[in-house]
């Protein structure tokens, strides 16, 4: 294997996979899991005439990354390779691409769609593949798309199906699944093995070589004292208490400390209670309290001015859509205090001390006269934008030569990035034109990011898997992994807990690996049988739930103002994804706004954003379907449902308790344009 460039520890972990066994390769970030998988794929194709390989990833940008950087260089001359993701046209002919290729790299959702789509040219069967490589396979659990695919695999296996692909999973850490005991951690690892129908392998003989090749960074806690005074935060809390007094909740509804995640959970429940009880005062106050709580969290994470700007932006849209006394009270409260908040947010004496500590941490690495590269991890998209603004306008950091950019997840909206923007940012960082990424968790796993000599975790509470992934980004010699946090804060406690959980994961994997083969197989089969029965029961319950009410008996009301706007039978679903209102009278209930940043798809293109004409709550957007039908796509989380059993809420359409019928384009055209068919 020397000609392929594998290290001895990589050769060690691929042996069982080369013998055709289902295997999970457990190697740390930077240990070369993907290169080992490329080697297994190469040998599989060489030794099995007619073999067909699928490489599954869980993020769109990983498709091109694995294709261009790993599989194409080693397999592209001898085999037919194709990369397919949600932003390319080839997904519409997935079945044909699979038929005509030796190796397919795609997002797991693309394969899942093809397994369920019965249309010729789009449908595939698992039996068409001989090897399935699953990147970041620790995500194969619960309702994740990896587990949906493997659920089919396991069901076919238990029925005695023999024509199933070999499985090769890749992970830097399966984690403990929330368990804090060795027994619970072992059960979690066994469940991952059962879901993937695989054994888990790691380096034993050549572990010292692995440790030398992937050194751990020097970890340190950069701790700051709590700010002695916080007049800006105190004023926000005063305003929040004023709103609580206005709501007159009473002792039966206690809430937790302002400015915490726990309080955020409380006001989410409060808003739901307000909507279901038709108490608009309660619901609207809860929405505004959440904005103030967000401002407190931002004040604790970045600058006071960032927190003020969040509130300023929120209330800039409210004055034109005040409906009743509640709206006027909430708007008036902010307007009366706006000048004072602005003044307090600009007082440098009370600035967040974490910012000074973060500045020193960055300067230690970047102000040494030698090239440096780093990643600054923060929790939210908002905080990454605030930190970018701070870095870009900080004279000391600019003199140190820091060239920063934001890296967040793909999506729609002002704080999201497109997939092309993600790719370009990573490409620029790799070239060295940028030397600091300010990122959410999107950069923690999978991305092909150059070795960094600094990784900073700033204001993060995550599990042991995310911590290990982030730590693994600091792979340059003498690199530093810094945790910037407040003294006695939850971040430090969580970081220390994660270190214990990382050790627990390793011990649990060791116990699983030491099991007798027969005992391991019995446990795996028992877990697979139990999971299959659970899925079947859950599916039956879903079907029963979706037919609980007749669609015509369910009325949809705006969640912001409670105005009834539609019935359940007005809603149809397109491509099992887009829920649209086909009632022509619906347009009188909404107004249109700007255009969302979305590309044009095969059958439709995005129209304008739509929101409630009465209260301004955003509902969704218009779609232009087949260049003829202008249809409003609705997000059910923006509505309340009046049912025969009372008012109900749903976060997603899959949770509603009535059946949504498929959209029929021909029927729609006949009803909309009857004269065209005379």
pLDDT digits 0-9 by tens, 602-611: 788 899 999 9
> Considering only CA atoms, which of 362, 350, 552, 520 is closest in space to residue 438?
362
Contact predicate 224/357, CB 8 Å:
yes
Confidence at 436, pLDDT banded by 50, 70, 90: very high
- Is residue 418's pLDDT more than 80? no
Average pLDDT of the residues in 520-530: 98
Domain ranges across the chain:
2-213, 218-226+353-509, 231-350, 551-672
Is 231-350 the same fold as 2-213? no
> Considering only CA atoms, which of 621, 619, 618 is closest in space to residue 598?
621
C-alpha–C-alpha distance, residues 562 and 401, integer Å: 53
Q: Which fold has domain 218-226+353-509?
A: Rossmann fold (3.40.50)
C-alpha–C-alpha distance, residues 508 and 439, integer Å: 31
Helices (H), 21-144: 33-47, 61-66, 72-75, 94-99, 108-116
Q: Which two tokens mark 348?
A: 């440098």
C-alpha–C-alpha distance, residues 402 and 384, integer Å: 15
Q: Which two tokens mark 367?
A: 């102000």
- Is residue 1's pLDDT more than 60? no
User: What are the distances in angstroms from CA 92 to CA 87, 88, 601, 602?
Assistant: 11, 9, 11, 9
pLDDT digits (tens, 9 = 90+) for 248-304: 887 777 788 999 989 999 999 999 999 999 999 999 999 999 999 999 999 999 999
User: What are the distances in angstroms from CA 656 to CA 271, 277, 487, 659?
Assistant: 19, 19, 45, 8
- Measured in degrees and rounded to the nearest 5, phi and psi for residue 81 equal -115, 145
CATH number for the domain formed by residue range(s) 2-213: 3.40.50.300
**478-504 core/surface letters (b: 16 or more CB in 10 A; e: else):** ebbbbbbbbeebebeebbeebeebbeb
- Higher pLDDT residue, 471 or 329? 329
Q: Which fold has domain 231-350?
A: phosphoenolpyruvate carboxylase, domain 3 (1.20.1320)
Q: What is the DSSP-derived secondary structure letter of residue 70?
A: I
pLDDT digits (tens, 9 = 90+) for 43-64: 999 999 999 999 999 988 889 8
C-alpha–C-alpha distance, residues 538 and 215, integer Å: 45
Q: Which fold has domain 551-672?
A: 2.170.150
Burial class (CB in 10 A: 0-12, 13-18, 19+), 421: middle
pLDDT of residue 51: 97
Confidence at 399, pLDDT banded by 50, 70, 90: very high
C-alpha–C-alpha distance, residues 195 and 216, integer Å: 30
Strand, helix or coil at 103?
A: strand
């Amino acid at each position: 294997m020397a000609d392929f460039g594998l290290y001895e520890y990589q050769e060690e972990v691929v042996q069982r996979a080369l013998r055709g066994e289902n295997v999970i390769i457990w190697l740390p970030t930077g240990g070369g899991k993907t290169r080992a998988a490329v080697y297994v794929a190469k040998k599989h194709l060489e030794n099995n005439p007619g073999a067909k390989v699928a490489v599954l990833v869980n993020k769109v940008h990983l498709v091109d990354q694995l294709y261009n950087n790993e599989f194409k260089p080693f397999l592209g001359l001898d085999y037919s390779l194709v990369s397919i993701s949600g932003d390319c046209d080839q997904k519409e002919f997935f079945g044909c691409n699979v038929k005509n290729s030796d190796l397919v790299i795609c997002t797991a959702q693309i394969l899942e769609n093809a397994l369920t789509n019965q249309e010729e040219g789009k449908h595939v069967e698992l039996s068409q593949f001989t090897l399935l490589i699953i990147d970041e396979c620790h995500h194969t659990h619960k309702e994740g798309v990896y587990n949906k695919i493997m659920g089919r695999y396991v069901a076919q296996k238990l029925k005695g199906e023999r024509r199933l692909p070999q499985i090769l999973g890749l992970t830097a850490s399966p984690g403990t699944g929330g368990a804090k005991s060795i027994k619970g951690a072992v059960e979690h690892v066994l469940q991952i093995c059962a879901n993937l129908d695989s054994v888990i392998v790691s380096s034993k003989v050549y572990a010292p070589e692995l440790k030398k090749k992937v050194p751990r960074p020097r970890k340190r806690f950069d701790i700051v004292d709590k700010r002695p005074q916080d007049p800006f935060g105190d004023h926000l809390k005063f305003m929040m208490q004023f709103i609580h007094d206005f709501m007159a909740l009473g002792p039966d509804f206690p809430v937790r400390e302002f400015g915490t995640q726990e309080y955020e959970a409380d006001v989410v429940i409060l808003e739901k209670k307000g909507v279901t009880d038709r108490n608009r005062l309660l619901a609207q106050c809860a929405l505004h309290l959440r904005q103030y709580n967000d401002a407190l969290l931002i004040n604790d994470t970045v600058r006071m001015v960032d927190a003020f700007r969040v509130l300023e932006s929120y209330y800039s849209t409210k004055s034109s859509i005040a409906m009743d006394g509640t709206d006027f009270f909430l708007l008036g409260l902010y307007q009366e205090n706006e000048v004072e908040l602005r003044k307090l947010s600009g007082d440098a004496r009370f600035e967040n001390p974490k910012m000074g500590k973060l500045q020193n941490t960055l300067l230690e690495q970047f102000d040494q006269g030698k090239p440096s590269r780093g990643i600054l991890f923060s929790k939210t998209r908002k905080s990454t934008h605030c930190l970018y603004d701070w870095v870009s306008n900080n004279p000391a950091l600019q003199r140190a030569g820091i060239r920063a950019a934001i890296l967040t997840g793909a999506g729609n909206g002002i704080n999201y990035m497109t997939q092309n923007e993600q790719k370009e940012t990573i490409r620029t960082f790799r070239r060295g034109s940028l030397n600091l990424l300010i990122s959410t968790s999107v950069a923690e796993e999978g991305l092909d990011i150059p070795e960094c000599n600094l990784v900073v975790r700033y204001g993060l509470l995550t599990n042991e898997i995310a911590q290990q992934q982030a730590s693994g980004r600091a792979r340059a010699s003498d690199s530093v992994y810094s945790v910037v946090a407040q003294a006695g804060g939850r971040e430090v406690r969580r970081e220390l807990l994660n270190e214990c959980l990382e050790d627990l994961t390793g011990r649990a994997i060791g116990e699983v690996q030491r099991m007798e083969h027969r005992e391991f197989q019995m446990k795996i089969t028992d877990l697979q049988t139990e999971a299959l029965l659970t899925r079947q029961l859950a599916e039956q319950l879903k079907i029963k739930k979706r037919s609980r009410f007749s669609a015509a008996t369910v009325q949809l009301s705006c969640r912001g103002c409670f105005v009834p706007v539609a019935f359940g039978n007005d809603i149809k679903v397109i491509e099992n994804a887009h829920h649209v209102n086909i009632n022509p009278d619906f347009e009188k209930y909404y107004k249109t706004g700007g255009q969302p940043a979305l590309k044009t798809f095969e059958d439709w293109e995005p129209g304008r954003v739509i929101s409630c004409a009465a209260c301004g709550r955003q509902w969704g957007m218009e779609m232009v379907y087949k260049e003829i039908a202008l249809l409003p796509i609705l997000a059910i989380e923006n509505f309340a449902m009046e049912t025969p059993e009372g008012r109900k809420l749903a976060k997603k359409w899959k949770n509603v308790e009535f059946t949504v019928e498929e959209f029929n384009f021909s029927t729609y055209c006949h009803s909309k344009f009857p004269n065209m068919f005379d």
